[in-house]
Structure 1
């Protein structure tokens, strides 16, 4: 099983690698190929170095000492109903998927956000992304939708919401 721990500045490169590789495998056929090909690990690493200094909760999943996934969240950026926190990102390398690691990352984030006083959480997901089932199985329900530009194309994104972070942390699913 994976070890889940708080991310540190030294993890920025590994997180960037997972982020880019996950986008390329998860969004192939959804996001324009030219955009996916343009993703750059070095640029993402710089962004992640900055993100890791902000007021966000970021956790990594390690297997045999290698980062295979991460999750990040914090205060909601755009109001959605009664939700006060947002899952900004959760990504796993393809070989780490369907092993319970994503669930463990989601639970760890929920526990952390709840400890910080947040009550609920929302995640924006590309509608054509097959991970919608993951969110539904974890107890989230679809609560909103909007269009978002990615790589020069407008895509539909849907918000999945958990009204009680405690339910995620308790593993009631």
Structure 2
């Protein structure tokens, strides 16, 4: 990964690249966890349109970029699931496989948590597939505590999710990454 890693807020004009990266990260991360047909059916154009609508509607997301390419993102806001207690929620945290284990995910999680704190949320939660051992190890290493469980069903598949929660910043929270734009 080049040394030119920068972070900035996502804008509606990022939607096309963000949609493509989001689909690619699902295909990389969930191979063997979700049915191959479900992963093959993911549509970058549809995902880009969803991102465009969300960003134009005020959704918050931070991008990790290298050489202009989106390597990862984190999105956040008020918890959508009442079972999470009405605090903050990380809606999604995805990093391309080639950029994983290089500090990108921890920096994104830290910045998402900081944005939630600035928004008045002292703690936050996120949902992760129970079978995603790598992500669960990452969240545990970052100080997340597993808790609630639920099963989601979509397009002919069902998987259990686990909520990980933090009462404050992630365990490895540090200084803001260079190039972070609020």
Q: What is the TM-score when the length of structure 2 is the normalising length?
A: 0.88
Alignment match of 2:155 (pick from 148, 151, 170): 151
- Name 1:48's counterpart in structure 2: 51
Aligned residues: 171
RMSD of Structure 2 on Structure 1 (CA): 1.7
Alignment match of 2:125 (pick from 119, 122, 126): 122
Structure 2: where are the runs of 5+ without partners?
A: 176-182
1:161 pairs with 2:170: no
CA change 1:158–1:75 in 2 (3 A) is same
Contact 2:142/2:170 (<8 A) preserved: no
1:35 pairs with 2:38: yes
Q: What is the TM-score when the length of structure 1 is the normalising length?
A: 0.92
1:66 pairs with 2:81: no
Contact 1:76/1:85 (<8 A) preserved: yes
Structure 1: where are the runs of 5+ without partners?
A: none
1:117-172 per-position Cα deviation (integer Å, ceiling 9, x unaligned): 1111111000111210110011100011010113312211000001113766447x
CA change 1:14–1:122 in 2 (3 A) is same
SS state at 1:131 partner: helix
Alignment match of 1:141 (pick from 139, 145, 152): 145
1:56 shift after superposition: 3.1
